């Protein structure tokens, strides 16, 4: 069955960096587009980044553009999010999600919590 497992979250000071990972299993990872989506505590969902199946195309929300970098390693069936220059407003639960055959997210991980605080 499809599984997405995020890791790498934690407490970091403002201005710091963190790298999230998402381990994929149960499907041919290299065939699918992938997203990172976050949810601040008690708030709604926010799409933040997308990567194409071959890794050549990436997109970012304006809120993270220039600070976050999405990447993937198909040999390791893994998706990554490098987060630099972190701010308090980046505090959220970060989900990786598989992009379905159409324009929607058909499977989600359980999320990795990132807390930015001094």
Partner 1 sequence: QSALTQPASVSGSPGQSITISCTGTSSDVGAYNYVSWYQQHPGKAPKVIIYDVSIRPSGVSNRFSGSKSGNTASLTISGLQAEDEADYYCSSYTSTSTLEVFGGGTKLTVL
Is residue 59 at the binding interface for partner 1, with CB under 8 A as the rule? Answer: yes
Length of the chain: 118
Give bridge partners of residue 68 from the DSSP assignment: 83
Pick from 5, 82, 108, 113 the residue near partner 1 by CB under 8 A. 108
Which one of residues 35, 79, 81, 90 is an interface residue with partner 1 (CB under 8 A)? 35
Q: Residue 99 in contact with residue 105, Cβ under 8 Å?
A: yes
For residue 38, the minimal CB distance to partner 1 (Å) is 11
> 2 or 15: whose CB is closer to partner 1?
2
Q: Does position 66 bind partner 1 by CB under 8 A?
A: no
Residues near partner 1, by CB under 8 A: 35, 44-47, 50, 59-62, 95, 100, 102-106, 108-111
């Amino acid at each position: 069955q499809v599984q997405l497992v995020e890791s790498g979250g934690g407490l970091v000071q403002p201005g710091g960096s963190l790298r999230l990972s998402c381990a994929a299993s149960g499907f041919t990872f290299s065939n699918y587009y992938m997203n990172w989506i976050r949810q601040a505590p008690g708030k709604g969902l926010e799409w933040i980044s997308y990567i194409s199946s071959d890794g050549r195309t990436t997109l970012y929300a304006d809120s993270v553009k220039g600070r976050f970098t999405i990447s993937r390693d198909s040999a390791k069936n893994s998706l990554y999010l490098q987060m630099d220059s972190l701010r308090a407003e980046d505090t959220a639960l970060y989900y990786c999600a598989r992009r379905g055959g159409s324009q929607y997210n058909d499977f989600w991980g359980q999320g990795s919590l990132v807390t930015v605080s001094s």
